[in-house]
Structure formats: C-alpha cells, structure tokens
Amino acid sequence: MKSSHVGRDGSIAMVDVSRKPVSSRVARAEALVRMSPAAQRALRSATLSKGDALVAAQLAGIMAAKQTASLIPLTHPLPLSCVDVRFDWHEDLLRVEAEARTTAQTGVEMEAMVAAAIAALTIYDMSKSLDKGIAIEGIRLLRKSGGKSGLWVRK
C-alpha cells in the first residue's frame, strides 16, 4: 500500500483534492495527560500561578487547529466551521478531547489531533512547576465522518 502523500516518481506530494466533492466532515481526537495528585489538585481548583490552565489549554487547542496547515507541511488549509476542546478527569489522568468540523474536500483529522496535542502541551507548560514528570500519552483519532470513506470509529 502506498501513502497518499507519495507521488508517482516517489517524491512527496500534497494530495490533489480538486476533483473530490465538498462534504460535511467531522473528526474527534484525544490526548491523555497523566500527572501527580498535587498537579491535579491545582488544575482542578484553578490555583496555578499562571492562571486557569484549562481555559488557556482550550484556547490554545482551538488556535492550533486553525494553524494546522502551517504546522504540518502537506495538509490543506481548511475553513473550519467549529473546533471544540473539552476535558474529563479519570483519577490521575486528564483526558483532552478535541472535535473539528468543516465542509470541504478533505477531512479534519489532523486539525482535531493538533488541537488535542497542543491543549495537552499547554497543560504541561502551565503545570510543570508542580510536576516535571507529567506525561502526555495516546494522541489519537477517535472518530471521523464524511467524505468518500465515510464513518470511521476507533474500536
């Protein structure tokens, strides 16, 4: 199987989507942030000296999704209809979930994953004074819909 980003001559190439139909597309991704109880308490109570880390991370994730084509060389710039970043606690694990939506000729998987990753990195940045051992784990696509391949859900 050949990557869609490899040209006929073996060079890298941006996928030509000019003949693909425009369709509604949605992607959801997650990143997991594992941290110490002290860091978790500070995040939950918004007592970090830098301010409310979850609000900052939410904004950073949204802003990052809008910059995906500038960050990842072969992605297409997309008109994003919506980017949503949410957080959910599971003991010492903070789950960051990002969803991106567009109506375009190509999907928004990369935008959703970039949003989740940058939100997680923002949590690390704002919490590192409390716990240098914070680990970001499992950045992955959870679900995508739209386009030729239709619905895909992680099992």
Q: Catalytic residue numbers?
A: 125
25 alpha carbon, distance to own chain's centre: 15
3-class SS of residue 136: strand
90 vs 55: CA distance, rounded Å: 19
Measured between its terminal Cα atoms, the distance across the chain in Å is 22
Contact in structure between 81 and 103 (CB atoms under 8 Å) = yes
Rounded to whole angstroms, the maximal C-alpha distance in the chain is 55
Closest by CA position to 123, among listed 144, 98, 140, 154: 98
Q: List the structure tokens of 118.
A: 């940058």
Beta bridge partners of 34: 93, 135
Distance CA 28, CA 51 (A): 27
